[in-house]
Chain A
Amino acid sequence: ETGVTQSPTHLIKTRGQQVTLRCSSQSGHNTVSWYQQALGQGPQFIFQYYREEENGRGNFPPRFSGLQFPNYSSELNVNALELDDSALYLCASSLQGMNQPQHFGDGTRLSIL
């Protein structure tokens, strides 16, 4: 069973740039959630994708957007990067439905200069 994989591992960008982070879900999982984890804090929910559509969104501005593909993999796109976007971005996959455990990837560390 292949786990959740995220790429790249680390990324450095400058303010105003755009970035795309990628996530491959665990085999058989149809739901992908993205979280932002600032240094020293708990993860915060960005949004979730199910059947290639956004299925819930946290308190993040529209410059945070995403996609889910037919193979259930997903992308997180962030436009007009700001210094506060520096964080660990975690992807989690699961089956849709309550009480379905979420399996996390190792995350992408994004640094904004």
Chain B
Amino acid sequence: AQTVTQSQPEMSVQEAETVTLSCTYDTSESNYYLFWYKQPPSRQMILVIRQEAYKQQNATENRFSVNFQKAAKSFSLKISDSQLGDTAMYFCAFMSDNAGNMLTFGGGTRLMVKP
């Protein structure tokens, strides 16, 4: 079974600064997918960024980028130029290549962007 661990329950950052959220995972699979989801107080889970394990290049989506270290089983999220609207819970998630579309989530990191 896969496990996903987010070691930072809460983080804060000043508006316009950069913050990095950590995620580690444990799996024996060789092919899988990793995701970061954002959950604002509105409750809807929104996909921020995703990474295929077979791709060495780190994924980037505008102000969001990841640092994927496959050997270390680490998948951190960097948010640049933080905005007030980035305030939310952030969840790291894992999807195996042979388990359908099932997502395994970490416990989440609460991010507060301060003005």
Contacts and interface: CB of A to CB of B under 8 A. Distances in A.
Interface of A: 31, 33, 35, 40-45, 48, 50, 55-56, 58, 88, 90, 92, 94, 96-107, 109
Interface stretch (B12-20, B69-77, B79-87, B98-106): B98-106
A45 B91 CA distance: 14
Given A31-B101, A33-B101, A56-B99, A101 B106 contact: no
Given A101-B47, A101-B50, A104-B44, A41 B107 contact: yes
Given A98-B33, A104-B45, A107-B43, A42 B91 contact: yes
B43 A45 contact: no
Interface string B16-53: 00000000000000000100010000111111001010
A103 B107 CA distance: 19
A94 B97 CA distance: 15
Nearest to A9: B43
Contacts of A97: 101
Nearest to A33: B101
Nearest to B107: A42
Contacts of B45: 43, 90, 92, 104
B6 to A, nearest CB: 8
A42 B42 CA distance: 15
Given A43-B45, A43-B91, A56 B105 contact: no
Nearest 6 CB-CB pairs, A to B?
Answer: A42-B105, A104-B45, A56-B100, A106-B44, A107-B43, A45-B102
Contacts of B6: 42
Nearest to A88: B43
30 contacts: A31-B100, A33-B101, A33-B102, A35-B105, A41-B107, A41-B108, A42-B4, A42-B6, A42-B91, A42-B93, A42-B106, A43-B45, A43-B91, A45-B102, A45-B104, A50-B100, A55-B100, A56-B99, A56-B100, A58-B102, A88-B43, A92-B45, A96-B100, A97-B101, A98-B95, A99-B52, A104-B46, A106-B42, A106-B44, A107-B44
Nearest to B98: A98
